[in-house]
Amino acid sequence: MVSWTLASWRQLMLLALLLPHLFLDAAVARQCFWPGQAPEDAGCLSWRVMVEANNARGWRTVPAQCVGYVEGYMTRGQYLRDLAGVMEQASGYVDQIAADADANADGLDAWVFDIDDTCLSNLPYYENKQFGAYDPLAFKAWASREACPGIPPVLGLFTALLDKGFKVFLLTGRDEETLGSCTAGNLEAEGFSGYERLIMRTPEYRGQSSSVFKSAMRKQLVDEGYRIRGNVGDQWSDLQGDCVGDRVFKIPNPITFPHLASPPRPSPLLYIHHLASPPPPRSGTEPQRLSNPTPYHLQLFTMGRRPARCYRQIKNKPYPKSRYCRGVPDPKIRIFDVGQKRRGVEEFPLCVHLVSWEKENVSSEALEAARIACNKYMAKHAGKDAFHLRVRAHPFHVLRINKMLSCAGADRLQTGMRGAFGKPTGTCARVSIGQVLLSVRCRDAHAHQAHEALRRAKFKFPGRQRIITSGKWGFTKFSRAEYLKLKSEGRLVPDGSNAKLLTWHGSLANRQPSRAVYPPSVAGSA
């Protein structure tokens, strides 16, 4: 027989009191941390419905709490089921208007299709960006690869419309000059052929919103005599404005962000959970009112990115992007050679370096900022055709972050495993003492401008750097005296911004007549 002591009874009573709190904390944690498993509880389903109904506006990224839910929605079949339902409604509407004997007698009945995330899917791009803010440069690089997969249900509707004699116009906000041929090739490869016209953004509409541009293009079609019977798009900017058509079909898409005329600097956003209550107004002041008020639990607030000083020290092994390290955001710097990079080796004999004087990590954002500052000064004071700037450090090292919940009222849930591995959040370059960060080659007359440009670029980097005037000829490995001597002997072959040295190595059969160079011992004996 078990004898119950007073201490045992106290422990049992304490356990009975704590059990409800433990279950409550588990429920709260499930709401905050695993919205992909319980979207209704976390509010992510409500947020997606608000986006599809065009009630949630002005957002820049998928809320941090809903990334798992949105990824599951797009990749686990629900998106395709919803898309198939929309296409089924569109097909029924096509059959209905095609049954009319008098319809399309003159062949001017038209349909308008958007391209991005309507005909072609950009899901791989957004997955690689971790559903982060829209980056025009990264998206342009992705679109130029012509690797956007087609969306089969939309292709089926597209083919059915062509078979029934409708004119199909593809209307997109992509730039015609830079992405015209890439877009046409991608569409052709995915089966979208036979359309009437591909309409892309021209220079006169740059800087204007997608809604204004597409509204003007549809009005031009109507002025040409076409009757827009249907309009298919994934964003509300595709379906608003003038001449939207007799009927519009909105394709579900919770990952495409509003493309503004001048996109803001990308910054992560924080999604405030519905358990949080709005902060009380200060005494004696009126609470601020939003122009488009939304429930407090669905408002988006800007959260600053982690400072780069957190990653400054080199303390681990190199961690590059690989098949084991996936989902790495694209580096901020995309261009490493600026200016007259095609000028020959003879034109720019002077070379000035910006050399790192510390062993540290340099973020891709710092490299891009330094490149912009140096290029801007040289182009303004020396001339855009008077220099060649090269960024010598490349951000291959992947930075990681162990994100913690930052919503109000979740202080008790902030604890996590210490030293956790984390997810990729950015890239940096691992530089050592004496490593060249930036190099500028120019004429001797612009030496002062090159020094000043690199001095200004120093302010974009952490730690210490030094500006050193190289004794080499341009970007070559030969000193000035050595370069002139070898050139006079005919032993140098220009190779872009560099020069190749003709030596006595290699097969004599491949030597050009009168260009063979012999070692001193052979030349002396001859």
What DSSP line would sit under 240-256, residue for residue? -SS---S-EEEPP-SSP
Position 526 pLDDT exceeds 50:
no
φ, ψ of residue 495 to 5 degrees: the values are -140, 75
Tokens of 311: 């990653």
Q: What pLDDT sits at residue 519?
A: 54
pLDDT grade, residue 4 (50/70/90)? low
Residues 224 and 205: their CA atoms lie apart, in Å, by: 20
Sheet with 109-113, edge to edge strand ranges: 197-201, 167-175, 109-113, 227-233, 248-250
Other C-beta atoms lying within 10 Å of the C-beta of residue 214: 29
Question: Which of the 8 DSSP states describes residue 370?
Answer: H
Task: Indicate the CATH number for domain 46-250.
Answer: 3.40.50.1000
Pairing of strands 269-271, 109-113: unpaired
CB 241 within 8 A of CB 214: yes
The C-alpha atoms of residue 247 and residue 229 are separated, in whole angstroms, by: 6
CATH code, 309-406+423-469? 3.90.1170.10
Q: Is 492 exposed, middle or buried (0-12, 13-18, 19+ CB in 10 A)?
A: buried
**Beta bridge partner(s), residue 354:** 438, 467
For residue 353, what are the β-bridge partners? Answer: 439, 468
| Complete DSSP assignment for 382-413 | T-TTSEEEEE-----EEEEE------TT-GGG
User: E-assigned strands of 315-431?
Assistant: 337-339, 350-356, 360-363, 387-391, 397-401, 423-431
303 SS3 class: coil
pLDDT band at 383 (very low <50, low <70, confident <90, very high): very high
Q: Which residue ranges make up each domain of the chain?
A: 46-250, 309-406+423-469, 480-525
Q: What is the pTM of this model?
A: 0.45
Q: For residues 455 and 352, give the distance between their C-alpha atoms in angstroms, rounded to a whole number.
A: 11
pLDDT in tens, 468-509: 999 999 999 999 999 999 999 888 999 999 999 987 666 666
Q: Give residue 181's identity as a one-letter amino acid code.
A: S
Measured CA to CA, the distance from residue 314 to residue 357 in angstroms comes to 14
**Residue 396: how many other CB atoms lie within 10 Å:** 15
- Could you tell me if 431 and 455 are in contact, meaning their C-beta atoms sit under 8 angstroms apart? no
**What DSSP designation does 516 have?**
-
Q: Which fold has domain 480-525?
A: Wheat Germ Agglutinin (Isolectin 2); domain 1 (3.30.60)
In angstroms, what CA-CA distances link 351 with 216, 418, 474? 51, 48, 5
> 42: pLDDT confidence band, cut at 50, 70 and 90?
low
Q: What percent of the chain has pLDDT over 70?
A: 72
Q: Tell me, rounded to whole angstroms, the distance of Cα 8 from its chain centroid.
A: 60
For the residues 137-165, what does the mean pLDDT come to? 87
What is the residue type of 23?
F
Other C-beta atoms within 10 Å of 124: how many? 13
Q: For the chain, give the mean pLDDT.
A: 78
Mean pLDDT of 231-238: 84
* pLDDT score recorded for residue 209: 81
User: Are 168 and 113 a contacting pair, CB within 8 Å?
Assistant: yes
Residue 210 pLDDT > 50, yes or no? Answer: yes
Separation of alpha carbons 150 and 117, rounded Å: 9
Q: Which contacts qualify for 54-59: CB closer than 8 Å, 24 or more apart?
A: 54/236, 55/294, 56/294, 56/298, 57/258, 57/292, 58/258, 58/292, 58/300, 59/257, 59/258, 59/269, 59/300
**Beta bridge partners of residue 440, listed in sequence order:** 352, 389
Q: 110-134, pLDDT tens digit by residue? A: 989 998 888 898 888 877 766 666 6
The pLDDT of residue 367: 97
- At 406 the pLDDT is 53
With 0-12 CB in 10 A as exposed, 13-18 as middle and 19+ as buried, what is 228? buried
Select from 167, 151, 192 the least CA-distant residue to 111. 167
- What was the pLDDT predicted at 299? 41
Q: How confident is the model at residue 48 (pLDDT cuts 50, 70, 90)?
A: confident
Q: Measuring CA to CA, which residue among 64, 103, 26, 136 is closest to residue 425?
A: 64
pLDDT in tens, 398-415: 999 987 755 544 444 456
List 426's β-bridge partners, or say none: 399
Strands, E assignment, 158-284? 167-175, 197-201, 227-233, 248-250, 269-271
CA 360 from chain centre, in angstroms, equals 26
> Which residues, in sequence order, are CB contacts of 293 under 8 Å at separation 6+?
none
| DSSP percent split of the chain into helix, strand, coil, nearest 5 | 35, 20, 45
